[in-house]
Structure 1
């Protein structure tokens, strides 16, 4: 790229576009938010008066000055919009998930590869403080060989909204909302599992779609449990991890989403979680067990790293922060999980024979 600043066009200015993408794009060196497609021009210009607002995606895609298109629209529109953006010669970032099926994801990856365009997905939970803390603990071998990992993302939202996520349509429901994030974190730590089992439930009064899930991923000598629910009022552990040397338990969510919702911009000290997890470790020698309990060291969260990495990939040829290959793995697990639910049994993954990532070998 000759230019040192890339012009970014954002499709959608709902919760994802307004809370996450717009402020993080603006905070990234080398990127400039130039145009937004939205039906609510007043809301966009109240936040970004210098940004042009367009009524239709086609008008944005026709602009030659737009280098990167970010798609923050309902899940079932991700595939057609990304396909059109790639056809228009744009680099593309898609909010999670990449599509509503693995076949859509494969088609987009092939199109991007053929056009030599970047295709990435906003798997921002890779930069949660608690996840980075856990990853560092596994890197260091602090917990020994991990045998179980429980990851929960619970909410208390008893009311059913009229938003697209609560309607019975492709990409709706909690499995396609929170599932991609929890699956991506598991893949980053341990790679593709051997088999998956998924249970879905519709628990709220008047709900049309799943609002509760339990997914079990089996590896060699390791079980990963992923759960999310819309009807959990009592705080549950975000992570509970047990290994041959001890355990790590963490309550509370990464603070970055709440900060962005409150209008805070990334600055010095960004991403530091003030609710550290607890380590319970065996520090005895030989056959002697000597348990100690202490706070886990906290790694700061870093959502700005995603768009900073996108800029480096486009301007300097660095590897993108989230590759299309890893996004396709998430889509494969999402879809295979649904196969498991429909069939009521464990389902094998084609790549399930692959070895665990090095983190599991510690």
Structure 2
């Protein structure tokens, strides 16, 4: 088994919550280097350093290290474009956290550089491995619902006092929408048209904190929605088809477990309890009404790394294609220019 050497640019909450715990479960990766602005700030540093990870404050240490197979950018989003560009121009394979960049022009430039340098470049779209998304995908693929006519995914919170300042890039549409739009594009491809409703509901002078956006396809509508003022959440997924309906009330549990320190590899990590399973009602070919409880498919954000390994080592197609990269960023950017 070939082992890939990884370097991280950034060592904050996201690196230590959504990346490293999953990489530690995989024997085919070695965390070789980490570049961070401040050394000795997090307790995880000592453990990684003891196992051989080299910490420093200069990205040149990564650029000049020819033993690295992959660089993962986990900086604040406003630094993604310049950091990824610098690494790609240096000939590094790059996995970048999301939202990848703010504009389609920036995304096209990075994709072009990667193609010209013949290196790997992809956003870390880990929510393709949310358990609820994988369950919806499975239900659709089994054909229980017939042809899809309407599908909605919601991301709800109740945070009435957390209105934030910044640019469009700092709001909910880029922050939450990037997950949900990518999930729909992974399922259905590029929409024919997109209708936008993006607002700031807690403070009109703050960044957006609400959106309800329709991605229109030839035969169905896909709606992605989020709000920070929902005390009684919507169902996470509602899917209507010509033969039935599927509803999944609750979100993937990986993030909830990670937040309280329950890590991948722990028994029961990220798993739904039976009362959180989705509910399916459909009519069979005889016209009989069938009700099913659908067990949740296990999620695993680390599968992004599995896909990267397969691409780099076995030349498999990328999990997120260049076309999908550009479609997601175009859909996000157009929310503020139409």
TM-score, length-scaled by structure 1: 0.85
Alignment of 1:16-165 (within 5 A): 16-42=14-40, 43=42, 44-46=44-46, 48-50=48-50, 51-160=53-162
Query: Whole-Å Cα distance in 1 between the matches of residues 334 and 90 of structure 2?
Result: 32
Write the mapping of 1:107-256 to structure 2, written as runs, cut at 5 A.
107-160=109-162, 166-169=164-167, 171-205=169-203, 208-256=206-254
Supply the distance in 1 between the matched residues of 2:308 and 2:269 (Cα, whole angstroms): 19
What secondary structure, in the 3-state scheme, does the structure 2 residue paired with 1:294 have? strand
SS in 1 for 2:257: helix
Cα RMSD after superposing both structures: 2.0
Contact 1:160 1:207 in 2 (8 A): no
Could you tell me how far apart the structure 1 residues matched to 2:235 and 2:156 are? Answer: 9
Q: How far off is 1:114 after superposition?
A: 0.6
In the TM superposition, what is the alpha-carbon distance from 1:270 to its structure 2 partner?
Answer: 4.9
TM-fit CA distance, 1:64? 2.7
Say which is worse superposed, 91-100 or 255-264, in terms of deviation. 255-264
- 1:121–1:337 Cα change, 3 Å: same
> 1:65 offset after TM fit, Å?
2.7
Q: Is the 8 A contact 2:198 2:335 kept in 1?
A: no
The alpha carbon displacement at 1:271 in A equals 4.2
SS of aligned partner of 1:41:
coil
Distance 1:221 1:318, change over 3 A: closer
Do 2:150 and 2:240's aligned partners in 1 also have CA atoms closer than 8 Å?
yes
Q: Is the 8 A contact 1:10 1:22 kept in 2?
A: no
Q: TM-score under structure 2 normalisation? A: 0.91
How much has 1:147 moved relative to structure 2?
0.6
Higher relative contact order (CA 8 A, sep 6+): 1
Matched residue count: 331
Q: Distance in 1 between matches of 2:67 and 2:321?
A: 24
